[in-house]
Chains A and B, each alone.
Chain A
């Protein structure tokens, strides 16, 4: 393989890796605050992308406002999931919660099919710039934006959970719900907030990805799978670990495409997941803790 081809695969791996990182971070946010793995997580990426792309294509709304509305739509969907479905079902045990989020995932996909149809849509680029040429490989400005965005969001989230009242409440809830409640933390609000935040991250990934790859109404479930794989690879209990897992999965898939074959791209990523679960269920980038 030539060096420029290698670079091209590297760039594409980092780009998809950034999207996986967004979804993995979103998984981590709800998992650490409520212990829930949200099977509808990938649908927020779809909602953000589809709302923005259809507003832009169908109603001639400029790219930036369309993107903002797309993110807002995902955040509202997150609020509905968190406050409308998760909070009332919180005491019903893990399996019920998994099935509820699975049901919501089906409902979101069905709604999107009714609203947007089956054809994939794409969004014009936010930055109307020429792609960068690096040693014969092209790097699109949208990819750079995507990577910059996930790093900024991760840094922002880190500051949020360390230094703000709401963020600290979220950390306290994740350690022990009842102790947090006894200290005057509004646990229900905190969990709802975590769902809104995680949906916002998903929506952000969706609107930033839409200019790079066209998006369809049925892409949510695969995004859930990839995001969860990434989160488990890096360690779902730490935000930075999840993000690192996202980039790792993106790179592994891109290199598998480059060196082996594009058809086995998914199988290699998922095989890695099974192997890693066997060896290190806590994830690669977390401090090893002894589990009870």
Chain B
């Protein structure tokens, strides 16, 4: 099999294998609720990071506004369902729409900024939003937040167990990954890569820089909004602490650890930042330090993250396997 054929084969087999693994994972985990909780959280982080990998990983725009859109989605859905009594699935749609509209409005002025200036402006946006949420106690419940959020339901069936919620979250995650995968391979993906290298060069090659950036930022906002809504209806309460700057930084860390220019990187990073703290919990007061050192090491020694390291390892193995195979046939 030539390299081109094996790559094409990999492209077809990987999505099928991914869907299959998501399907049977609960069986492999033995139906343990605590493990399913972790899998739900990984799925939610993955959804946010799919959006971020389009904006930051492919497009090179370092946005720290993911927490803000995650919070907008979460509060929209929470308010729709508790104050208006709307069904949760409608709340999810409202969450996606609100986050998307705000993202789209914000995109035009804010995406003129670059690198650290963009990072700081998006971060500032998040901080302002958190303050507004904390202070509008009548609507949002202030620092205590809102309790007893309902579970999503379709007709009589409610997603109120870790197992059913796991399938809900991962269906959304796989759908988002599928959309993102098609975008990355399309002309838009190519244009985003081009503008991350040089905006002037990309524009001179016919890339509509402002429009591409705006739509990616909006899509990222929609995905973060949906993820936020999924999160709060799972834990059944909402408070502003979940949407602080540290969440945005965590999302960037996921891409730095996993690899910022591929969906596999977003997934590996999401798994790493969810599972690592649990494994490190036994080190108690040293856990935060170990996590920080591991993050630093990943940034310094794995320039393309875990996904990059993995794929170069696979390439090296296949090359050496092929050369030893050729030697054997001689």
B128 touches A271 (CB 8 A): yes
Interface residues of A in 206-229 (CB under 8 A from B): 221, 225, 228-229
Q: Which stretch of A46-54, A70-78, A105-113 is in the interface? A: A105-113
On chain B, the residues within 8 Å of A37 by CB distance are 116
Q: A263-B135, A267-B127, A278-B109 are in contact. Are A110 and B288 (CB under 8 A)?
A: yes
A106 touches B121 (CB 8 A): no
Contact with A along B115-134 (1 / 0, CB 8 A): 11101110111011001101
Say if the beta carbon of B275 comes within 8 Å of chain A.
no
Give B120's nearest chain A residue, CB to CB.
A228
Interface centre among A85, A92, A267, by most B CB within 10 Å?
A267
Interface residues of B in 13-53 (CB under 8 A from A): none
Q: DSSP class of A's interface residues: helix, strand, loop or mixed?
A: helix
A203 to B178, CA, bound (A): 49
Contact with A along B215-238 (1 / 0, CB 8 A): 000000000000000000000000
B296 touches A271 (CB 8 A): no
Q: Identify which of B113, B285, B299 contacts A114 (C-beta below 8 A).
A: B285
Say if the beta carbon of B80 comes within 8 Å of chain A.
no
Interface residues of A in 224-239 (CB under 8 A from B): 225, 228-229, 232
A103 touches B295 (CB 8 A): yes
On chain A, the residues within 8 Å of B299 by CB distance are 96, 99-100, 103
Q: Identify which of B120, B131, B289, B295 contacts A273 (C-beta below 8 A).
A: B120
B292 touches A106 (CB 8 A): yes
Total contacts A-B at CB 8 Å: 98
Say if the beta carbon of B252 comes within 8 Å of chain A.
yes
Number of B residues near A (Cβ < 8 Å) is 38
A114 touches B120 (CB 8 A): no
Say if the beta carbon of A104 comes within 8 Å of chain B.
yes
Say if the beta carbon of A95 comes within 8 Å of chain B.
yes
A274 to B112, CA, bound (A): 12
Say if the beta carbon of A141 comes within 8 Å of chain B.
no
B62 touches A95 (CB 8 A): yes
A232 touches B120 (CB 8 A): yes
Give A221's nearest chain B residue, CB to CB.
B245
Say if the beta carbon of B272 comes within 8 Å of chain A.
no
A221 to B286, CA, bound (A): 19
On chain B, the residues within 8 Å of A167 by CB distance are none
Say if the beta carbon of A270 comes within 8 Å of chain B.
yes
Question: Nearest Cβ distance between residue A237 and chain B, in whole angstroms?
Answer: 12
Q: A100-B300, A273-B124 are in contact. Are A113 and B131 (CB under 8 A)?
A: no
B135 touches A264 (CB 8 A): yes
A107 touches B128 (CB 8 A): no
Question: Nearest Cβ distance between residue B122 and chain A, in whole angstroms?
Answer: 9
Say if the beta carbon of A102 comes within 8 Å of chain B.
yes
Question: Nearest Cβ distance between residue A143 and chain B, in whole angstroms?
Answer: 26
B124 touches A270 (CB 8 A): yes
On chain A, the residues within 8 Å of B319 by CB distance are none
A277 to B123, CA, bound (A): 13
Say if the beta carbon of A98 comes within 8 Å of chain B.
yes
Q: A264-B135, A270-B128, A273-B124 are in contact. Are A92 and B303 (CB under 8 A)?
A: yes
Question: Nearest Cβ distance between residue A105 and chain B, in whole angstroms?
Answer: 9
- Can you list 22 A-B contacts (CB < 8 A)? A94-B116, A95-B60, A95-B62, A96-B299, A99-B253, A100-B296, A100-B299, A102-B249, A103-B299, A104-B296, A106-B291, A114-B286, A114-B289, A221-B245, A229-B120, A273-B121, A273-B124, A274-B121, A274-B124, A274-B125, A277-B117, A278-B110
